[in-house]
Amino acid sequence: MLTQWTPSLTFPGQTQVVMPKPQRLMQFNYPLPYGAILQDAGVRFSVYSRTATAMRVLLYHRVSDREPYGIVEFDPSTDRWGDIWNVTVPGLKAGQLYHFQAEGPFKPEQGKRFNSQARLIDPYARALAGRFQSSEDGITRPPKCVVVQDDFDWQGDRHLRRPLSETVIYEMHVRGFTRSPSSEAKNPGTYLGVIEKIPYLKSLGVTAVELMPIHEFPINDPLGNKLKRPNYWGYDSLAFFAPHRGYMQGSKAGAQVRQFKEMVRALHAAGIEVILDVVFNHTAEGNHEGPTLSFKGLENDVYYMLNDDGTYKNYSGCGNTVNGNHPICREMIFHCLRHWVYNYHIDGFRFDLASILSRDRNGELMPNPPLVEVIAEDPMLADTKIIAEAWDAAGAFQVGSFADTRWAEWNGHYRDDIRRYWRGESGMTGSQATRLSGSSDLYQNSGRRPYHSINFITSHDGYSLYDLVSYEQKHNQANGEDNRDGDNNNYSANNGVEGPTRSKPILELRQRQVKNMMASLLLSQGTPMMVAGDEVLRTQRGNNNAYCQDNEISWFDWKLVKKNAENLRFCKSVIAFRKNHPNVRRATFLTGQPSENGRLPDVSWYNPEGTPMDWDNPTQSIVCIYGTTGIDDPAARPIMLLMHPGTDTQEFLIPEELRSHSWKQFFDTSAETPEDIHPNIDGPELPEDGILHLKHHTMMCYVA
């Protein structure tokens, strides 16, 4: 049934308007799904609250309206099914603006934080509009929810379903990718701006973009104040079902929905998948001192993990922790992922601080978390990539042990070991070999594959790749926290001078080290992930926690594409090489077993003297041979990697049994462009005597 309008509630400065009572219409009004759902008769609003004593929908004409023009009171006798409040309002259409409002007990020590004056964001809102409005009267006015029509012409688009083993991930920030004036984009800093740069992404060769959070998050302060430090990264969710309004072109309420879909459709047309970085571990409502914006005002102790005194458990490091394994939260996350897969054709998800998803309602880690299992087993997510950041801010570190064979993981061990090896630390040879081989120590025993290791050396969180070889100390003063924020343990090296320098030898060494690490990343077994701008030596000026830097520190500087064309050419060539050579992206772990049919083993390791590696007494420099045993492709060719992180020239003797093959150089990171890389693998042949001299900090690659 349809309920009546009830103008029984007024707000400061509001003139009470008596609205005509609509006729009650007999119709099937099933209370699910949640949110604001368009129907022929109007809009059906459904929201969960177990403890609320009253529920209302506030309706607005314009984004700028401080007060609603109409208030719809739910009738508990007819508009409540169990703990679901449900009402259909006739005459409403797509674009309608609204909030929920709930009454109930305010007993923080018992976990109840109802506020009858609060305007609440619908947890299932499909879009938000506007900003937080100033609150001189003490009422927080968050962005308004928008009723969305999901119709869109996908032009036959479907998920690309590319195997993870054939994936190259490019982590990027939607706004930062084109916000710089140097981008010359017509729609800078937007979803449409990303479309303009698809030719660049395609030429680079990446197969997937991993977008930093695009779920709605605060643009300005919840109290309406100007933020001293803007929330640039977006790890502060307001509405999990809604694409961020700050990345749309124009100001029409809800336009971000269509523009985001246009971006996904265009990326798919170019053969590029879209992975979302999702933040289901905390929200923008913060701790007990934070505002009531949505979940707190609907059922605080269901949506959040609380201490016995009603304060918030903080496993996220951001003030609160979403109670992900409560059935209500689990259901919401489950519906949210399906929403993005079906309505937006999203190809995968990277779960921020995913270890929180493994915690029960008391915060204890569980061996078989229901939420993690639901995500892995959901049939609608069967074609999607699911990736865990397998740690949290409370000390959990589950890399290698997070979940089952559906889950891939950001491999933090890979990041640290590759960094430490190339900066010349002793005792890292075995770790380097293990990481290049797909991290079998982490994933093989659980039945997972090399591609479940998401290999990365840099990410949004930390130094850029060029800063990794230019700074030994973080320089986060611009963040306004007296340089206390950010990680202090970066395994970085400035190679002689802290920060910018004009020294040609130092600049050449830094460039070489970038190539060493980029080549290691792209030629490792597993799934590589690189960060936007690393291919052109983007710098954040030593800032390793640029979460609040919505400026040139974080933006992609498109002048670097031309300035550092040498590095871009190198990166493109190695990506293309990876795609063409199946023995650097195997779907099973390497064995090192004897060759078959005269082929080289799938992997073999040698020291610089040309003898098999003695792992009990390893040297700093190593030779890796990726053979073709176990590969059906007749075009597969053996690959030889020589790695020398030392500070002096190192002689390498290639074993005699390998010299029967004809080897040609693919790259030499110490050579000057264009001799640093030979995209057609037509570089110098291996000397007849098998002796190579590698300069300090050098990596070479030969192909048989």
Q: Model confidence over 170-195: pLDDT tens digits?
A: 999 999 999 999 999 999 999 999 99
Task: Give the integer Cα–Cα distance in Å for 162 and 346.
Answer: 13
Q: What is the pLDDT of residue 224?
A: 59
Whether the per-residue pLDDT at 226 is higher than 80: the answer is: no
**Per residue in 564-595, pLDDT tens?**
999 999 999 999 999 999 999 999 999 998 77
With b for 16 or more beta-carbon neighbours within 10 A and e for fewer, the 620-651 pattern comes to bbbbbbbbbbbbeeeebbbbbbbbbbbeeebe
**675-678-683 Cα angle (round to 5):** 80
Range 470-479 average pLDDT = 97
Range 626-653 average pLDDT = 94
pLDDT bucket at 640, cuts 50 / 70 / 90: very high
Q: Which helix (H) or strand (E) holds 252?
A: none
Q: What are phi and psi of 454, to 5 degrees?
A: -85, 100
Counting residues of the chain whose pLDDT is more than 70, the rounded percentage is 95
Q: What is the pLDDT of residue 6?
A: 45
Q: What is the pLDDT of residue 23?
A: 42
Task: Give the integer Cα–Cα distance in Å for 301 and 312.
Answer: 9
Q: What is the pLDDT of residue 219?
A: 86
Whether the per-residue pLDDT at 393 is higher than 50: the answer is: yes
**Per residue in 234-257, pLDDT tens?**
999 999 999 999 999 999 999 999
Contact 379, 341 (CB under 8 A): no
- Which residues are within 8 A (CB) of 358 and not within 5 positions of it... i.e. 6 or more apart? 365, 366, 369, 372, 396, 398, 402
Q: What is the pLDDT of residue 116?
A: 96
Active site residues: 352, 389
Whether the per-residue pLDDT at 669 is higher than 90: the answer is: yes
Range 70-79 average pLDDT = 96
Q: Where do we find the tokens 């900003």?
A: 131
Whether the per-residue pLDDT at 599 is higher than 50: the answer is: yes
**335-371-287 Cα angle (round to 5):** 85
- Which residues are within 8 A (CB) of 243 and not within 5 positions of it... i.e. 6 or more apart? 127, 191, 214, 215, 216, 256, 257, 260, 344
Tokens of 155: 């032009």
Range 512-532 average pLDDT = 98
**Per residue in 302-339, pLDDT tens?**
999 999 999 999 999 999 999 999 999 999 999 999 99
- Burial category of 619 from C-beta neighbours within 10 Å (exposed 0-12, middle 13-18, buried 19 and up): middle
Q: What is the pLDDT of residue 13?
A: 42
Q: Where do we find the tokens 């130094």?
A: 463
Q: What is the pLDDT of residue 558?
A: 98
pLDDT bucket at 18, cuts 50 / 70 / 90: very low
Counting residues of the chain whose pLDDT is more than 90, the rounded percentage is 89
pLDDT bucket at 223, cuts 50 / 70 / 90: low
**95-96-98 Cα angle (round to 5):** 130
Whether the per-residue pLDDT at 27 is higher than 60: the answer is: no
pLDDT bucket at 445, cuts 50 / 70 / 90: very high
Contact 148, 257 (CB under 8 A): yes
Q: What is the pLDDT of residue 22?
A: 43
Is there a cis peptide before residue 367, judged by omega within 30 degrees of 0? no
Q: Which helix (H) or strand (E) holds 432?
A: helix 429-436
Range 528-533 average pLDDT = 98
Q: What is the pLDDT of residue 206?
A: 98
Contact 244, 173 (CB under 8 A): no
Whether the per-residue pLDDT at 20 is higher than 70: the answer is: no
**Per residue in 270-281, pLDDT tens?**
999 999 999 999
- Which residues are within 8 A (CB) of 615 and not within 5 positions of it... i.e. 6 or more apart? 429, 430
Q: What is the pLDDT of residue 94?
A: 96
- Which residues are within 8 A (CB) of 640 and not within 5 positions of it... i.e. 6 or more apart? 623, 624, 625, 626, 654, 658, 663, 701, 702, 703, 704
Whether the per-residue pLDDT at 502 is higher than 50: the answer is: yes
Q: What is the pLDDT of residue 24?
A: 42
Contact 386, 406 (CB under 8 A): yes
Strands (E), 390-522: 407-410, 453-455
Amino acid (1-letter code) at residue 251: S
Is there a cis peptide before residue 188, judged by omega within 30 degrees of 0? no
On average, the pLDDT of the chain sits at 94
Whether the per-residue pLDDT at 227 is higher than 70: the answer is: no
CA distances from 384 to 2, 122, 123, 252, 410 (A): 39, 27, 24, 31, 16
Tokens of 315: 């496993």
3-state SS class at 587? coil
Task: Give the integer Cα–Cα distance in Å for 138 and 118.
Answer: 9
Range 676-692 average pLDDT = 97
Write the DSSP assignment of 282-311 as a string of letters. Answer: --TT-STTS---STHHHHHHHHB-B-TTSP
pLDDT bucket at 14, cuts 50 / 70 / 90: very low
Write the DSSP assignment of 345-374 as a string of letters. Answer: ---EEEETTGGGGGB-TTS-B-SS-HHHHH
Q: What is the pLDDT of residue 365?
A: 95
Write the DSSP assignment of 157-215 as a string of letters. Answer: -------GGG--EEEE-HHHHH-SGGG--SSTTSHHHHHHTHHHHHHHT-SEEEES--E
pLDDT bucket at 687, cuts 50 / 70 / 90: very high
Q: What is the pLDDT of residue 598?
A: 75
Whether the per-residue pLDDT at 596 is higher than 80: the answer is: no
DSSP state of 650: E
pLDDT bucket at 137, cuts 50 / 70 / 90: confident
Q: Which is higher by pLDDT, 3 or 257?
A: 257
- Of 30-34, 323-327, 340-344, the range with the lowest mean pLDDT is 30-34
